[in-house]
Chain A
């Protein structure tokens, strides 16, 4: 989307791919040192060799150390880290592991409305029962534990609820859950014996004042052994988002907490089927958890690039909220984190009637018209789930700031025209 890759990351990867470059004086020493270390850990010192199914051991060790540092020293073991082909691979694997039963005992999996459609698609494919809980649009899309309880109670009538999926920071909503909220969710998980799946791929994308990313693992352990030794948790992260944006490499990992050792054996079987995660993605992940340090040659450039990306995203988040809220008929919650905005659009009745005539859901009709008239492609809220009678669209805030501004202006103008046409 025009976001430049981080120089350091690409330098190391290039040297891993073509080790002749290690002799090239144009590359800084810290990049070379990292490349050598990664190559040492690969079979035959090549990224073209298979790695262990769970991922290269020294990279898992680096990931564990990164997590410990992030979470204020709470221990993390490499044995509980599974490298994966993007976070999606690990998420799907865990769901495959946990879905079982028939009829009334069929596994139920709780997932938010709105949500990232990977979950609903996978659950449908696995034949799991999807248990929806609504995020509260009026309260910045926050998670409401009372709502979780409500949906859980209702679900118990027809399935066996076993898993609770949380996306934090949220996709498509961008909300960053408060610490209190995370604690409440953990308490609920313990009471109701739910397996927590915490999709935290946007953990470095937090912009709003007063918002902070709290990892589920950290909060769990800070709640004391009563929780930290019983609640089952899997946390997911990837190289696709944050400041890296390296989606094409398919780098990711999962950390499991309190997983039954016998279950872990089954998990290892499952991951062995796909042999191993792509080694370039594993290498990239290693760099993400092992970035240049203040005393290293690449540090300044690295930090400059990283800060530029994150600052730009923060500015775009702010600008998006501001510009959309200025349009009558568009209400936009603050984009607290992640990379998207999910504003609500009010559509005139006549527009909804026209959509029906065309055989389309109203927000799909809206997006089709926008595409035709302005060449802007958004995803209708119906793709992510929304409360009955409400309509939304999801837009990324990734285009370069100047371009984004133009896009926002065009959408605003379109909306006003559209409302006028069907008034």
Chain B
């Protein structure tokens, strides 16, 4: 089958593939009893809290279990509020079963809950008509991108994407026949988004495409940077001036560690700026249950909220979003529970509070530890991790190490990560996967881990790094 969608061929192969494969093989040999200097593979290459030992919330899982198997409601083991929520949810499902198809935008009562969640967060009302639930936020993003990146026109359309930035979105853009135009975040300034850089990117974009959207990740992935209000305002004005669509990926909004930083949603800030911007700027905001204190990546619950869409476009938006069929019901339930957690006075509240507090303090401690350890290591520098799910330190590799990498036909940070995996069983990802300024090298690892996993990770990483720097001095 040689004739195939040519768009896909332009998409670079997955750089992580070889590393991931090697990690799986090492895991196998360890399971078979082969002795290595380490007892297990620690995979922190994804922002996956539960994979890295963090526990799901009891209330969430109790409700889901009871929704799956309502016979549990007859027993005595579940708290009253779990039972009540379960019954409420099942009443909204066809035939009282989570196995039924739902409306494509999601169960209306759950969409309503999400709207209320947004309203409470921002102090600005959210209209359920503008909210669509999907199988994860990337699915929402892909469907919005599909609307914008029509293949009918002769000029390709472009989306400005951050570098460094996670790879899923540029891949989506390219697979849909669009151009992913990079704009570089400023490492020296804590990975700040600078409008002059956006301007440069926009101008250069116009040589190859018609730029139509700006994709922003806040808090940043992998950078962990949280945009200041000033920066966000500049972005909004830039987008308005250049008639771009703003795509705001805010899945890490609950993950703020730095006490001096504050997450503000683009919707809220836009509202604060008032008309005409607040009535005209086209915005799509994305969120999901995958991060934050929920950490339910595998359940696939995400949503998009659209603002100021051209009313003539809306019917097409609706049609397009219908094509995706029912979003997974278990994911919808998780969204419901994220939007409406237990309240003070509810039977489950104390446990819920304890568990979320533990998650929060674990992550704050993880970040402290990471920054502490990295500070002590030579040839490593790390911008403040204000929020998000990752550490993205810079490696100041020696010329000798860089040469060795080139000999092995690898990017220097990929070389580092390959050796790291072999010697310590740690699976991290190299900065070359996310993009970085020429001549700089980074590694990314998740900080959404249980405390003991983080300690072990840092121990192995430090030991390796010191040895590596020695070997290539």
Residues of A within 8 A of B (CB): 1-3, 5, 10-11, 13-15, 17-18, 21, 24, 26, 42-44, 46-51, 85-86, 88, 92, 96-101, 107, 118, 121-122, 125, 127, 160, 162, 195, 232, 240, 244-250, 259-260, 263, 265-266, 268-270, 272-281
Most buried by A among B46, B68, B151: B68
In the bound assembly, the distance between CA atoms of A232 and B1 in angstroms comes to 8
18 contacting pairs across A/B (C-beta < 8 A): A5-B99, A10-B69, A14-B68, A21-B65, A26-B75, A43-B48, A44-B54, A97-B4, A98-B1, A162-B3, A248-B97, A260-B1, A263-B4, A270-B8, A273-B168, A274-B139, A276-B300, A280-B299
Choice from A92, A101, A259, A270 contacting B1 with Cβ under 8 Å: A259
By the criterion CB–CB under 8 Å, are A250 and B52 in contact?
Answer: no
User: Using Cβ atoms and an 8 Å threshold, which residues of chain A touch B75?
Assistant: 26
CB distance from A154 to the nearest CB of B (A): 20
Are B299 and A47 interface neighbours, CB within 8 A? Answer: yes
Most chain B C-beta atoms within 10 Å of own C-beta, residue among A101, A118, A275: A275
Q: Which chain B positions have C-beta within 8 A of A121? A: 323
Minimal beta-carbon separation of A284 from chain B (angstroms): 9
Contacting B99 at CB < 8 Å: which of A17, A99, A246, A278?
A: A246
Nearest CB of chain B from residue A114's CB, rounded to whole Å: 19
B128 within 8 A of A: no
Residues on A with beta carbons closer than 8 Å to the beta carbon of B371: none
The complex places the Cα of A314 from the Cα of B443 at a distance, in Å, of: 59
Contact, CB under 8 Å: A269 / B13: yes
Q: A48-B56, A245-B99, A280-B330 are in contact. Are A18 and B62 (CB under 8 A)?
A: yes
Bound together, the chains give a CA A246 to CA B385 distance in angstroms of: 42
| Count, chain B residues at interface, CB 8 A | 67
Give Cα A48 to B139, complex, Å. Answer: 17
Closest to B327 in A: A250
Please name all residues of chain B whose beta carbon is closer than 8 Å to the beta carbon of A46 when the two chains form the complex.
Answer: 50-51, 56, 298
Which residues of chain A have C-beta atoms less than 8 A from B9's C-beta?
Answer: 266
Q: How far is the CA of A85 from the CA of B299 in the complex (A)?
A: 11
The 8 Å CB contact of B65, one of A17, A48, A268, is A17
B298 touches A48 (CB 8 A): yes
Report the bound CA distance from A353 to B94 in whole Å.
37
Measured CA separation A145–B168 after assembly (Å): 42
CB-contacts of B147-187 with A (<8 A): 151-152, 168, 171-172, 175
Closest-CB distance, A110 to chain B (whole angstroms): 16
Asked if B125 is at the interface of the complex by the 8 Å CB criterion, the answer is no
Instruction: Tell which of A13, A17, A279 has the most Cβ of chain B within 10 Å.
Output: A17
CB-CB under 8 A from B65, the residues of chain A are 14-15, 17-18, 21
Smallest CB–CB gap between A381 and chain B, Å? 20
Q: Are A127 and B151 in contact (CB under 8 A)?
A: yes
Bound form: Cα–Cα A278–B134 in Å: 11
Question: Cβ of A107: which chain B residues have Cβ within 8 Å of it?
Answer: 3
Assess whether B142 is in contact with A274, with CB atoms less than 8 Å apart.
yes
- The 8 Å CB contact of B50, one of A21, A48, A85, is A48
Measured CB to CB, the closest approach of chain B to A39, in angstroms, equals 11
A48 touches B295 (CB 8 A): yes
Q: How far is the CA of A77 from the CA of B151 in the complex (A)?
A: 36
Q: How many Å lie between the Cα of A248 and that of B100 in the bound state?
A: 5
State A279–B5 Cα separation when bound (angstroms). Answer: 29
Q: In the bound complex, how far is the Cα of B50 from the Cα of A43, in angstroms?
A: 7
Q: How far is the CB of A51 from chain B (nearest CB, A)?
A: 6
* A97-B8, A248-B102, A280-B299 known; A49+B50 contact, CB < 8 A: yes
Asked whether any CB of chain A lies closer than 8 Å to the CB of B93, the reply is yes
Residue B136, interface by CB 8 Å = yes
Cβ–Cβ < 8 Å partners of B68 in chain A: 10, 13-14, 17
B350 to chain A, nearest CB (A): 17
Q: Which chain A residues lie closer than 8 Å to B97 at the CB level?
A: 5, 248
Residues of B within 8 A of A92 (CB): 323
Which of B61, B64, B175 contacts A269 (CB under 8 A)? B175
The 8 Å CB contact of A97, one of B5, B72, B101, is B5
Main secondary structure of the interface of B (DSSP, over half): loop
Query: Closest 7 A-B residue pairs measured CB to CB?
Result: A43-B51, A279-B298, A248-B329, A18-B65, A14-B69, A49-B51, A246-B99
CB of B455, distance to nearest CB on chain A (Å): 17
Evaluate contact between B77 and A88: CB separation under 8 angstroms: no
* Set of chain A residues within 8 Å of B430, measured between Cβ atoms: none
Q: A49-B298, A100-B4, A127-B152 are in contact. Are A278 and B330 (CB under 8 A)?
A: yes
Specify which chain A residues have a CB less than 8 angstroms from the CB of B171 in the assembled complex: 269, 272-273
The answer to whether B6 and A100 have CB atoms under 8 Å apart is yes
Chain B 326-364: CB-based contact to A (< 8 A → 1; otherwise 0): 111111000000000000000000000000000000000
A contact residues around B5 at 8 Å (CB):
96-100, 266
Give the one of A48, A50, A249 with max B CB within 10 A: A48
A42: chain B residues within 8 A (beta carbon): 298
- The answer to whether A275 touches B138, judged by C-beta atoms less than 8 angstroms apart, is yes
Q: Is B424 interfacial (CB 8 A cutoff)?
A: no
Of B3, B6, B138, B297, which one neighbours A48 at CB under 8 angstroms?
A: B297
Q: When the two chains form their complex, are residues B325 and A86 in contact, meaning their CB atoms are under 8 A apart?
A: yes
By a CB distance below 8 angstroms, the chain A residues around B326 are 86, 247-248, 250
Docked CA distance A232–B2 (Å): 12
Asked whether, in the complex, the Cβ of B14 is within 8 Å of the Cβ of A269, the reply is yes
Q: Which residue of B lies closest to A265 (CB)?
A: B13
Interface string of B384-425 (1 = CB under 8 A from A): 000000000000000000000000000000000000000000
Q: Chain A contacts of B297 at CB under 8 A?
A: 48-50, 275-276
Knowing A247-B326, A278-B330 touch, does A269 contact B11 (C-beta < 8 A)?
yes
Contacting residues, chain A, for B100 (C-beta < 8 A): 1, 247-248
Known: A11-B69, A48-B296, A248-B100. A98 touches B4 (CB 8 A): yes
Minimum CB–CB distance for B44 against chain A, Å:
11
Complex: A297 Cα to B152 Cα, angstroms: 58
A26 to B2, CA, bound (A): 55
Which residue from B3, B61, B136, B325 sits with its C-beta under 8 Å from A100?
Answer: B3
- Complex formed: what's the CA distance from A3 to B1 in Å? 42
B110 adjacent to chain A (CB < 8 Å): no
* A residues less than 8 Å from B330 (CB atoms): 17, 248-249, 278, 280
Report chain A residues within 8 Å CB of B8. 97, 266, 269-270
Contacts of B93 in A (CB 8 A): 248
Cβ–Cβ < 8 Å partners of A278 in chain B: 135, 298-300, 328, 330-331
A280 to B34, CA, bound (A): 33
Does A24 lie within 8 Å of B3, measured CB to CB? no
Q: Are A195 and B1 closer than 8 Å at their CB atoms?
A: yes
